[in-house]
A and B are shown apart, each in its own frame.
Chain A
Amino acid sequence: MRDAGRYEPYSYFQLMEVSLRELLVEKGIVTADAIAGAMATMRERGPERGAAMVARAWLDPAYKARMLADGSRAAGELGFEVPGLRLIVVENTSSEHNVIVCTLCSCYPRMLLGIPPEWYKSRPYRSRVVREPRKVLAEFGLRVPQKTAIRVHDSNADMRYLVLPMRPKGTAGWSEERLAGLVTRDCLIGVAVPELPKKPKSRKS
């Protein structure tokens, strides 16, 4: 298969990947087609599913209640296949802000959000966000006031988490699709909150 990688020559690990894959295919453990299919799925998967769930919850209080009670079932309602996912959705309010981490590795609701970003898997995030969440969030440009409690969720066992951010002001009458467009991956992890796009400054000639 063609590769869009930067390896001339192979690193030890790239060599191992090719070798492991070829052995597994030769032995009938996996097929090249199945690998290509799984790659295509994850290559394309971004936060759209999570964003769609949030937008629906903003518009439909009954859906929101169901989502907070059983996140996996709520994902299924929107047609998102999440085999084996045990999803807990945690709601931001004016008195609570939620942020997600996996201190032990990189557990993440991949089928809803895609592959997690490098920083989520990094030592600084995994070590520090549990101990000094306000400082870490400030490094992301998010200032959480003292009067708002922070709930950190360590995704350390079988559950996975999605943050339901607050709907920003100034979005009355917006369509579900337009609302979903405000919800970034970082909002769903809890290191950002949805913001209205800044109006471009008018240029005077």
Chain B
Amino acid sequence: MGSDPIFRPGDRVRVRQAHPLGHIRTPYYIRGHTGVVERVCGAFPNPEELAQQRDGLPAQPLYRVRFRQKDVWPGYRGSAADVIEVEIFQHWIER
């Protein structure tokens, strides 16, 4: 039971550029970057809340988002086809 996902595979999404305190599972390096939803993983209790002894409900949709490495790292030296795939909770995606 949780919220229904609002994004679908293929959607272009941008990760929020925010730097709050607390326990966060959105890596610093990916904030502010734009990628494409690779799949909807399901809905999970919010780890930011679980870390604070709260139940993290309602469960939040979690997505795998694919980013081109050359978009993420300045001066990236690998192939233009290289990607990085990161799990992003819905509330970390800008609408």
* A positions within 8 Å CB-CB of B: 86, 88, 103-104, 130-134, 146-159
- Docked-complex contact A157 and B79, CB < 8 angstroms: no
- Docked-complex contact A157 and B83, CB < 8 angstroms: no
Note all chain A residues with C-beta closer than 8 A to B22: none
Note all chain A residues with C-beta closer than 8 A to B83: 149-152
- Docked-complex contact A86 and B41, CB < 8 angstroms: yes
**A158-B85 CB under 8 A given contacts A133-B78, A149-B79:** no
B84 at the interface (CB under 8 A from A): yes
Chain B stretch 30-56: residues in CB contact (< 8 A) with chain A: 30, 41-42, 44, 47
- Docked-complex contact B73 and A156, CB < 8 angstroms: no
- Write the chain B residue with the least CB distance to A103: B27
> How near does chain B come to A137, taking the closest CB pair, in angstroms?
10
28 contacts between A and B (CB under 8 A): A103-B29, A104-B25, A131-B29, A131-B76, A132-B77, A133-B78, A134-B78, A147-B79, A148-B79, A149-B82, A150-B83, A151-B83, A151-B85, A152-B83, A152-B85, A153-B84, A154-B84, A154-B87, A155-B87, A156-B26, A156-B86, A157-B41, A157-B62, A157-B87, A157-B89, A158-B44, A158-B62, A159-B87
> How near does chain A come to B72, taking the closest CB pair, in angstroms?
8
- Docked-complex contact A158 and B41, CB < 8 angstroms: yes
- Write the chain A residue with the least CB distance to B29: A130
- Docked-complex contact B47 and A157, CB < 8 angstroms: yes
**Given A88, A146, A153, A155, which contacts B79 in the complex, CB threshold below 8 Å?**
A146
- Write the chain B residue with the least CB distance to A153: B85
> How near does chain A come to B50, taking the closest CB pair, in angstroms?
11
Note all chain B residues with C-beta closer than 8 A to A130: 29, 84
- Docked-complex contact B41 and A159, CB < 8 angstroms: yes
> How near does chain B come to A66, taking the closest CB pair, in angstroms?
16
- Docked-complex contact B85 and A156, CB < 8 angstroms: no
Q: In the complex, given contacts A134-B77, A146-B78, what are 8 additional A-B residue pairs having Cβ atoms less than 8 angstroms apart?
A: A104-B25, A150-B69, A150-B78, A150-B82, A151-B82, A151-B85, A154-B85, A154-B87
Note all chain B residues with C-beta closer than 8 A to A148: 79
CA distance A143 to B11 in the complex (A): 33
**Given B25, B76, B82, B84, which contacts A157 in the complex, CB threshold below 8 Å?**
B25
- Docked-complex contact B62 and A131, CB < 8 angstroms: no
CA distance A132 to B69 in the complex (A): 9
- Write the chain A residue with the least CB distance to B73: A131
CA distance A27 to B73 in the complex (A): 51
Note all chain B residues with C-beta closer than 8 A to A152: 69, 82-85
Note all chain A residues with C-beta closer than 8 A to B64: 88, 159
**A149-B26 CB under 8 A given contacts A157-B89, A158-B44:** no
CA distance A103 to B85 in the complex (A): 12
